[in-house]
């Protein structure tokens, strides 16, 4: 028996159809082990030795593979044909070696498409594992680990509110933050255009003023309304004739088939897909045998595929659409391990595959690949000049006509926004036939005001394009890079555009000031090149790591020794242009707007940075970390609502890390309550007192006699009774829900928990674990609330209010649970499934004790 290992069950199912009965195909379900998320997993003092740990949720998969490996005559590692695929094969081989069940014969096979021919050809041409690729994988994994576990503790101690930083993610974040600065620094400039609406032989067209008073105009020449009005009047008074007609042919050639990055860009432009969604759909199309491997820098298609594409074109179009010779494309990719064939359909006879998003993405891949082998489009571009008798005034009309569509009959590549903010030209319009001396009619003349526009915020497509241009990261990793920035709250997306959040901007400022080299574009790109040298066998991975660590480690130690107050003072100066931009009247931007004589500066607090007055505590003016005058940076000054009758303290509104809130009193005795967005009515003293008095006792439950409380937590309004919770729809229900409704809602919530443990809905998705990126959920269990990352469950202590539980606290509970008592979860499963097989279950307990729990397997990111 020959055992074949692939990553996914879908791939295994497809491949097994092509192989004989002597083959058994199993899926590893991605990576089977990783570096444990704790200190010491990579040891720089021991040649960067790595301690690997199996994923807890892969134990059954590995046992299944190991059991069959004992019986197999040959092990065939058929994971994906890239660095990550090579690493998965290596991990599987290493685990089987440790278990002493590795078959005598081990082969590595790769194929670029999951078709019968590709798979059988690969099986006939096996090779050994590529240790250069494995070394490159180890180098990248160690680098990312060392940066994360060395830099993140610095952030937690010196930059409150920061979660973590990554080697490549931080540089991508810098791009987004810098664009935000460019937009804020941009000063719009007024300009005008003068356009004549003309007509000739019954066809209307527009012509723009390009020369006035004998001088050629650029975009900003007509800088105000007065000049524009004069120019408009001059055009209206002029007698215009055609002074020049210029026609020239234009050839437009097709783009090459998709690479990973161009697929992500085009899917974002045309389909509105995120990079991660594009890669997920592409992965499934590949596993179904519909397209070739989707992680690639290559732009060329296989010779047989080119022949198939040309035949498919001939079946759909006449001979003019097929070039005399095939179109060939070259790539600039430096990374040999990723320079595979371009992404294309595996069968050009099929113009459709899948349904929904799968069908839409396949259609994009099919048309792009087919168009790449079609003839160029032939166009004719025409420019017509109109002048008055003196030659002082000249207008121009542009037009274009497609003489032969060529590849445009199938596919036209999308375009990004114009960074200049200018309008598209008129080349796509059709002009009437005109000759020199003709006098077209001028129906109207318009003077239109414009303003220059700032550079646009990055979309996923333009960010991927910019990362690739700079050589930062690799196309197969862009989707995961972008997702991490979103998950950690460093950026948000609005209208498919990235906006840098305050935490992201503060982190970028910190890294630029204290770790400038490590977020520099050239340095990051150079390090990527060094890692590519390892892939190609031209560099030693341990030497690359040693060179990095030699400078990085002392730098982190240097920053760690500084006082947090010194860090904040440095950032206050470094970020001054952003935090305190120049005022229009020349006044000091740091003057406190409340007291008038204090100076504003950056301060560090428990929940992050903020701006405060130097006259504190006499002046309590604060604002969030953001540019003054910006949407988020505008100060919400404290407003006194009145005196709390219970305490005699003043109740006032304030703004904190999580938005506006009300406070009664000062210091440790102060009472606070968030101001809900859906507050019923206006916020006055009465409403403030009601919010501060929460939780509200609705009454005693008729069955238990215990209180039913209505309150507002971090995750919204809720009811609580005897440790059980029920959600409320809005804030008004907190104050309006009566006993009957409360009892009914609690009963309904309890009934929903009976759906079964595997189907139970989380009370809240808290966020991604800052160190493992696994999703942490707040759950309501039989014995109370707990948090889980999918593989480790951690009970919430009674001393911790589940509604106030932060992401970092939840992650810490999971980490502590994983480190202290891993075997208990494992011990229960065998007893439930095989009550009679107690003796057989015993060895599993022992094994579980040896293996520390690990985070749930992360999706393969390439």
| pLDDT averaged per 10 residues in sequence order, the chain, 862 residues | 91 88 91 89 94 89 93 94 92 94 94 90 94 94 91 84 82 94 89 96 94 93 95 95 94 94 92 89 91 89 92 92 92 52 93 90 96 94 93 93 91 60 54 92 95 92 90 82 86 86 88 93 92 91 95 94 89 88 85 90 77 86 61 52 84 71 79 80 83 92 92 84 87 90 87 53 78 80 78 75 74 75 41 41 38 41 38
* pLDDT value at residue 428: 59
Pair type for strands 105-108 and 74-77: parallel
Distance CA 644, CA 689 (A): 7
In total, the chain counts a number of residues equal to 862
Task: Say what the pTM is.
Answer: 0.69
Is 362 marked active-site?
no
Neighbouring-strand partners of residue 713? 716
- Orientation of helix 131-158 relative to helix 541-560, angle to 10°: 0
Distance CA 99, CA 65 (A): 11
* pLDDT value at residue 829: 41
Residue 140, judged by CB atoms within 10 A of its CB (0-12, 13-18, 19+), counts as buried
Q: Contact at 8 Å (CB) between 3 and 75?
A: yes
* pLDDT value at residue 780: 76
Q: Contact at 8 Å (CB) between 58 and 37?
A: no
Long-range contacts of 728-735 (CB under 8 A, 24+ apart): 730/678, 730/680, 731/676, 731/678, 731/679, 731/680, 732/678, 732/680, 734/694, 734/696, 734/710, 735/680, 735/690, 735/696, 735/710
Q: Contact at 8 Å (CB) between 790 and 775?
A: yes
* pLDDT value at residue 757: 40
* pLDDT value at residue 278: 92
Kindly list the distances between the CA atom of residue 390 and the CA atoms of 209, 228, 238, 387, 434, in Å, as whole numbers in the listed order: 15, 20, 9, 8, 21
Q: Which of 293, 321, 362, 490 is catalytic?
A: 293
* pLDDT value at residue 603: 86
Neighbouring-strand partners of residue 345? 291
Distance CA 725, CA 711 (A): 11
Enumerate residues 6+ apart whose C-beta is below 8 A from 698: 707, 708, 709, 710, 719, 737, 738, 739, 742
């Amino acid at each position: 028996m020959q055992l074949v290992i692939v990553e996914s069950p879908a791939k295994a199912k497809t491949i097994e159809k092509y192989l004989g009965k002597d083959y058994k195909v199993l899926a590893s379900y991605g990576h089977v082990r990783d570096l444990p998320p704790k200190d010491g997993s990579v040891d720089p003092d021991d040649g960067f030795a790595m301690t690997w740990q199996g994923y807890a949720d892969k134990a059954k998969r590995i046992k299944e593979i190991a059991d069959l490996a004992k019986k197999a005559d040959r092990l065939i590692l058929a994971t994906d044909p890239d660095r990550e695929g090579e690493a998965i094969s290596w991990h599987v081989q290493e685990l089987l070696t440790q278990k002493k069940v590795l078959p005598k014969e081990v082969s590595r096979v790769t194929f670029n498409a999951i078709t019968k021919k590709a798979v059988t050809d690969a099986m006939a041409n096996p090779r050994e594992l590529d240790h250069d690729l494995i070394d490159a994988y180890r180098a990248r994994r160690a680098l990312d680990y060392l940066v994360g576990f060395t830099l993140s503790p610095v952030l937690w101690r010196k930059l409150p509110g920061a979660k973590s930083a990554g080697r490549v993610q931080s540089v991508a974040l810098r791009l987004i933050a810098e664009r935000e600065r460019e937009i804020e620094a941009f000063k719009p400039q007024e300009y005008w255009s003068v356009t004549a609406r003309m007509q000739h032989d019954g066809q209307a067209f527009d012509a723009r003023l390009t020369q006035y008073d004998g001088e050629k105009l650029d975009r900003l020449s007509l800088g105000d309304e007065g000049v524009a009005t004069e120019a408009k009047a001059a055009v209206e008074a002029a007698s215009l004739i055609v002074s020049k007609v210029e026609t020239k042919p234009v050839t437009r050639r097709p783009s090459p088939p998709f690479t990973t990055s161009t697929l992500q860009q085009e899917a974002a432009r045309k389909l509105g897909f995120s990079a991660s969604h594009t890669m997920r759909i592409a992965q499934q199309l590949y596993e179904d045998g519909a397209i070739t491997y989707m992680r690639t820098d290559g732009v060329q298609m296989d010779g047989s595929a080119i022949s198939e594409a040309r035949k498919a074109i001939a079946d759909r179009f006449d001979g003019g659409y097929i070039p005399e010779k095939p179109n060939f494309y070259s790539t600039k990719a430096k990374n040999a391990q990723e320079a595979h064939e371009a992404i294309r359909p595996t069968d050009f006879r099929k113009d459709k595959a899948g349904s929904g998003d799968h069908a839409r993405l396949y259609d994009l891949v099919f048309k792009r690949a087919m168009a790449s082998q079609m003839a160029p489009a032939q166009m004719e571009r025409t420019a017509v000049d109109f002048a008055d008798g003196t030659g002082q005034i000249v207008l121009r009309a542009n037009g274009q006509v497609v003489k032969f569509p060529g590849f445009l009959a199938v596919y036209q590549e999308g375009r990004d926004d114009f960074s200049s903010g200018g309008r598209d030209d008129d080349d796509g319009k059709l002009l009437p036939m005109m000759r020199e001396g003709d006098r077209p009619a001028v129906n109207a003349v318009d003077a239109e005001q414009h303003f220059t526009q700032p550079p646009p915020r990055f979309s996923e497509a333009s960010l991927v394009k910019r990362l690739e241009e700079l050589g930062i990261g690799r196309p197969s990793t862009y989707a995961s890079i972008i997702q991490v920035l979103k998950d950690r709250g460093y950026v948000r997306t609005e209208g498919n555009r990235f906006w840098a959040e305050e935490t992201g901007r503060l982190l970028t400022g910190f890294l630029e000031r204290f770790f400038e080299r490590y977020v520099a574009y050239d340095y990051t790109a150079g390090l990527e090149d060094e890692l590519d040298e390892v892939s190609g066998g031209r560099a030693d991975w341990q030497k690359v790591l040693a060179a990095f660590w030699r400078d990085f480690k002392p730098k982190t130690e240097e920053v760690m020794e500084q006082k947090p107050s010194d860090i904040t003072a440095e950032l206050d100066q470094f970020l001054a242009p952003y935090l305190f931009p120049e005022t229009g009247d020349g006044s000091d931007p740091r003057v406190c707007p409340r007291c008038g004589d204090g100076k504003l500066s950056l301060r560090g607090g428990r929940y992050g940075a903020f701006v405060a007055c130097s006259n504190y505590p006499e002046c309590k003016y604060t604002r969030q970390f953001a540019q003054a005058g910006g949407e988020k940076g505008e100060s919400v000054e404290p407003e006194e609502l009145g005196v709390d009758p219970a305490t005699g303290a003043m109740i006032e509104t304030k703004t904190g890390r999580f938005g506006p809130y009300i406070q009664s009193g000062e210091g440790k005795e102060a009472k606070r309550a968030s101001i809900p967005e859906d507050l019923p009515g206006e916020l006055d003293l009465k409403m403030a007192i009601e919010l501060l008095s929460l939780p509200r006792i609705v009454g005693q439950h008729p069955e238990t006699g215990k209180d039913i409380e209505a309150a507002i937590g971090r995750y919204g309004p809720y009811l609580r009774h005897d440790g059980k919770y029920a959600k409320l729809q809005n804030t008004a229900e907190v104050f309006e829900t009566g006993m009957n409704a409360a009892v009914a809602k609690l009963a309904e919530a309890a009934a929903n928990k009976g759906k079964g443990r595997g189907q139970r809905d989380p009370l809240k998705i808290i966020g991604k674990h800052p160190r493992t990126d696994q999703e942490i959920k707040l759950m309501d269990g039989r014995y109370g609330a707990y948090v889980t990352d999918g593989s480790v469950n951690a009970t919430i202590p009674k001393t911790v209010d589940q509604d106030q539980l932060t992401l970092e606290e939840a992650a810490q509970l999971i980490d502590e649970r994983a480190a202290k008592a891993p075997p208990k979860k494992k011990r229960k499963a065998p007893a439930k499934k095989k009550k009679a097989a107690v003796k057989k279950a015993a060895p599993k307990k022992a094994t579980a004790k040896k293996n520390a729990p690990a985070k749930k397997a992360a999706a393969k990111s390439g």
